Structure 1
Amino acid sequence: MSGSWPQRLAAHQSQRREQGLWRERRVHVRDAVDDFAGNDYLGLAQDPRVSQAAAEGAQRYGAGARASQLVSGHLEVHRRLEARLAALVGRPRALLFSSGYMANLGVLQALCDGTTAVFQDRLNHASLLDGAKLAGARARRFHHGDLDDLACLLRRSTSEAPRLVVSDGVFSMDGDVADVPGLVGLCRRHDAWLMIDDAHGLGVLGAHGDGCVGRAHGSDEVPVLVGTLGKALGTAGAFVAGSELLIEHLLQFARPCIYTTAEPPGVSAATLAALDILEQEPERREQLRAHIARFRTGAEALGLKLLPSTMPIQPLLLGDNARTLRWAETLRALGLLVGAIRAPTVPRGQARLRITLSATHETAQIERLLDALAELTIKEGRP
C-alpha cells in the first residue's frame, strides 16, 4: 500500500469499518449498567476493603514505586505480595510484572531464542503468541486442546532443541479449561517444559482459589506458571511463579521486568487485601458457580448456542459481525453491558457475545439478562 502516512492509516481504518471489525473505546458509568463484560469474577474490584487497602498503601509508600525493581522500586509491600502469591500457588517464589501481557512477553523473551522450539495452543492469548515472535523462537501451533496433534508435533521436533509447550489455563474467549494433566504427561515424555497462563483460572478454580494448576501441579510438572491480578483478584498487574532458578533467571533477563517501573505500592496492598478475602470467603466461589449454573439453565431453555463452558466466561455464538454488534447495542440500551467479540480476537465467522458472570451479581440481574436475550431471539430468531 503506497501513499502518505495519513492515507495509509485512513485506508486501514476504512477497511476495518467495512468489515464490521471497528472497535470503540467508551467511558463506562458502572452504576448505569449491569456489567456482564468484565473479568471481576469474585466482585473484589469494588470491595471497600480492597479500595481502603489501596488508599492506605498509597499513603504509606507513595502513589508510585519511583523506579524499576532492580533499582529502588522493590518495596516491602511487593516482597510480601510475592511471598503470598507463591504460597497461594504452591511455588518457591513469585515475581511481579506490570500486566499479564508484559509477564508473558517477559517470560518467553527470557527463556527462548532462535534455537528454541515452542508449541502453542491455537487459541492461546495474543501475548503468548507475541512473546514467542519477540524471542525469535521456532513456534508451532497445535489444534485447540488436541493432545494428539501436540504429541505429533513433539515427536517430529529435533531432540537437540529445547522445547517449551505453552497454553492458556482457561481460554478467555471460549471459557474452556486446558487438560493440564494431559499436557504434563506429554511434556514429561518428550522432555519439554510446560508454561501455563492461568489468568482466568486464578481465584476461580482450585480448592483454595489457586487456579487450574496451583498446588495440584508443582514446579516439577508446570515449571512456569503465570497469573494475573486484574481479574478474579480485582486489582492490577501479574506474576510469574516457579523455582528459585526460574525467578532469578527472569530477574536477570526478562526485559519487561528489568526496564519497567515497579507496580504502584497501593495496588500491591490492595492485592494483599484481596488475597485475604479469597482465603476467608470461599462462599464467593460457591456463589459464582451457582450463578453460572442458573445462567446456563436459562440460556438452554431459550435454545441459545452457548459454548460448553463451566467458567464465568459464557460465550454466545452469533457468527455474524453485524448481528453481534446489533445484539450488544440492544442490550446496552437496556442497561446490560456484554462484550461483542469479533476477529481477530476470535476466528472469522465465530463472532460472539462474551457474557461474564460475577459472584456479586444478583439473581434479578441474571434474570433480566435472560429476559432481554429471550426478546432478541423472538425478534431475530435463535442464533
Structure 2
Amino acid sequence: MTGSLHRVCRQRLAAIDAAGRRRRRRVIDGGHGVQVCVDGRRALNFCSNDYLGLVTDPRLAAALSASARVVGTGSGASQLVTGYNTEHAALEADLADWLGRERALVFSTGYGANVGVIAALLGKGDHIVADALNHASLIDGSRLSGAAKHIYAHGDVAAADAALAGARDGHRLLVTDAVFSMDGDTAPLVELAQVARARDGWLMVDDAHGIGVFGPDGAGRVAEAGLDSGAVPLLTGTLGKSIGAAGAFVAGDDDIIEVILQTARSLIFSTAMPAAVAAAARTGLSIIRAEPERRAHLHALVARFRARAADTGLSVAASDSPIQPVIVGEERQALALSDALLARGYLVGAIRPPTVAPGTSRLRITLSAAHDLTDVDGLIDALAESWQALSGAVGASP
C-alpha cells in the first residue's frame, strides 16, 4: 500500500513539474521586512503583504516581548476553554471601535475566520453567491457549508443580483473580497450592498487587503465606501498584513458575532492565538490610526510605480492598491523573470496556476510603506532589463 502511495505522489509531482507549477519555499534568514536575506542572498522584498512596514517595527516587537514575559508564549487551549486572555479581549474591543462595529471576534488565521464564519451561518438549503475571483478561504468555506453555490463573473453586479434573485428558498449570502489578492482591484462594494439589501441577502466582505491601506483611519475599503453593519453585516480581515502581526477577525453586530462564537468549528476546535501576538496586533492597530503618513507614502509609491511602469511599457493590471500585478502569461516565463529579478537583488514572487487562470501567470509585485522612491525606481529598471533580456532569448514582449 505504501508503495502505491509513493508511486501516485511521484506521478503527481511529475505532472506538476511538467506544467512548470512546482512551488518551493524560500528560506528567509532574519526579519521579514523590505530588506531580507533569502536563500543566502540579500534582496529588496517586493512580494510581502506588509503594506505599512510594521512587520519589523520595533514597537510591535516590544509589545509582543513585554506581553510574553507576563502571559507566556502560547494560549494553551481554545478560546472557549482557557485560551481567551485579556489581551484578546482588548484587541477585539480595539478592532470593533476602529471598524465601527458592535463587536469583533479574533481567529488564529484568516483562512480559519472565513471558513468558520460561512460554515457557521449557512447550510444545506441555503445559497451562497460569490465572486469568481474570491480568495480560496471564501471558496472553501462555501464548499464546507453545504449551501448551494452560485458563482458570478468577477465584479459583475448584475450577475450577482440575478443569482440572488434566483435563489428563492433558504438564506442568501453574497460574499466578496474587497481588494482581490491577485489582481489588486476593488469590488463594487456600494452596488453589491444595494443588491444584497434589495434581495434580502447578507453581504460578507473580506477586507484583508484593504484594512490599514484605505479609508478613514485606515479602516479599509468598506469604511471608505461608508458601509455600516446594516449594509455589511459580516466584515472579515487579517492581522497579518497591514497590522503587522498574525491572526484574523470577524466584526459585526453583537448577536451575529455571538452565534459565530458558539458555532464556528474553526474557532471552537483551534488553540487560541498567543496572547502576546494579540498585544503586538493592538500596537500595530494603534500605529495605523496615529500615523496616516504611512498610508500617504504608500499611495505615493503606488503612483510612482504605475507611472514608471507605463513609461517603460510594462503590462500592469488596473489597481490603485499596493498589489501591482505584472501579467506575463506563461508559467516558465514568469518564473524566469522572478529568478532574473532575484539575481539583480529584487525578491518578487511568480504567481502561476492554479492560483490564477492558465495563461495569466504574473509577477505579483507588492509595495510597502517601508520602501522608498529609489527602491521603486530600481525595481522598474531591473524588471525592464530582465524582461528585455528574456524577450530577446524567447521572442516574447512585455
Give the TM-score band, short-chain normalised: over 0.9
How do residues 287-326 of structure 1 correspond to structure 2 at under 5 angstroms? 287-326=297-336
1:312 Cα offset (Å)? 0.2
Shift of 1:371: 1.0
* Alpha-carbon distance in 2 for matches of 1:117, 1:242: 21
Name the SS of the counterpart of 1:377 in structure 2.
helix
Which among 341, 345, 352 is matched to residue 335 of structure 1?
345
Deviation (angstroms), 1:165: 0.3
Instruction: Please list, as runs of the form range in 1=range in 2, the aligned pairs for 1:70-81 lying within 5 A after superposition.
Output: 70-81=80-91
Letter of the 1:187 counterpart: A
Q: Which residue matches 1:106?
A: 116
Matches within 5 A, 1:121-132: 121-132=131-142
- Give CA deviations for 1:59-82 in whole Å, capped at 9, x if unaligned: 111111111111111111110000
State yes or no: 1:24 paired with 2:24. Answer: yes
Question: Given the alignment of the two structures, is residue 43 of structure 1 paired with residue 53 of structure 2, yes or no?
Answer: yes
The answer as to 2:96 corresponding to 1:86 is: yes
Structure 2 Cα separation of the partners of residues 73 and 182 of structure 1: 40
Question: Who is 2:33 aligned against?
Answer: none
Displacement of 1:207: 1.4
Letter in 2 for 1:261: T
- 1:208 and 2:217 correspond: yes
Which position in structure 1 is the counterpart of 2:44? 34
1:172 equivalent in structure 2: 181
CA-CA distance at 1:156 after TM superposition: 1.8
Q: What is the CA–CA distance in structure 2 between the aligned matches of 1:333 and 1:373, rounded to whole Å?
A: 11
| Paired residues of 1:90 and 1:218 also in contact (CA < 8 A) | yes
Residue 278 of structure 2 is aligned to residue 268 of structure 1 = yes
Asked if 1 retains the 8 angstrom alpha-carbon contact of 2:216 and 2:223, the reply is no
Task: Say whether the 8 Å CA contact 2:341–2:386 is kept in structure 1.
Answer: no
Secondary structure (helix, strand or coil) at the match of 2:298 reads helix
Range 280-289 or range 213-222, more displaced:
213-222
What amino acid sits opposite 2:331 in the alignment?
A: N
Selected match of 1:193 from 192, 202, 219: 202
Say if 2:126 and 2:147, in contact at 8 Å, map to a contact too.
yes
Asked if 1:369 is matched to 2:354, the reply is: no
Structure 1, residues 24-72: CA drift from partner, whole Å, max 9, x if none? 0120231421000000000000000011111111111111111111111
- Residue 73 of structure 2 is aligned to residue 66 of structure 1: no
- State which of 278, 287, 292 in structure 2 corresponds to 1:282: 292
Q: Which amino acid aligns with 1:164?
A: L
1:88/1:214 contact within 8 Å kept: no
C-alpha separation between the residues in 2 aligned to 1:125 and 1:262? 23
Structure 1 position 161, deviation (Å): 1.7
Between the aligned residues of both structures, percent identity stands at 46
- Conservation of the 8 A alpha-carbon contact between 1:202 and 1:227: yes
TM-score (norm 2): 0.94
Structure 1 letter corresponding to 2:139: L
2:171 to 162, 169, 180: 162
Q: How far off is 1:289 after superposition?
A: 0.3
- Consecutive unaligned residues of structure 2, counting only runs of 5 or more, are 30-35, 392-396
Contact 1:64–1:265 (CA<8 Å) still a contact in 2?
yes
Q: Secondary structure of 2:221's partner?
A: coil
Segments of structure 1 that go 5 or more residues without pairing to the other structure are none
Letter in 1 for 2:109: S
CA-CA distance at 1:380 after TM superposition: 3.2
Q: CA deviation at 1:377?
A: 3.2
Q: CA deviation at 1:152?
A: 1.7
Instruction: Report what 1:13 is aligned to.
Output: 13
Q: What do the CA deviations read for 1:78-101 (whole angstroms, capped 9, x no partner)?
A: 100000001111000000001100
1:352 corresponds in structure 2 to: 362
Are the equivalent residues in 2 in contact too, given 1:82–1:94 (CA < 8 A)?
yes
Are 2:314 and 2:384, in contact at CA under 8 Å, matched by a contact in 1? no
How far apart in 2 are the matches of 1:318 and 1:117?
36
Q: Give SS of 2:151's match.
A: strand
* TM, length-normalised to structure 1: 0.98
C-alpha displacement at 1:290, in angstroms?
A: 0.4
Paired residue secondary structure (1:4)? helix
Is residue 337–residue 387 contact of structure 2 (8 Å, CA) maintained in 1?
A: no
Q: CA deviation at 1:280?
A: 1.0
Matched, 1:133 2:158: no
Q: CA deviation at 1:4?
A: 0.9
1:200, CA displacement in angstroms? 0.3
The number of residues matched between the two structures is 381
8 A Cα contact 1:229 1:237, kept in partner: yes
Equivalent residue in structure 1 for 2:156, among 133, 142, 146: 146
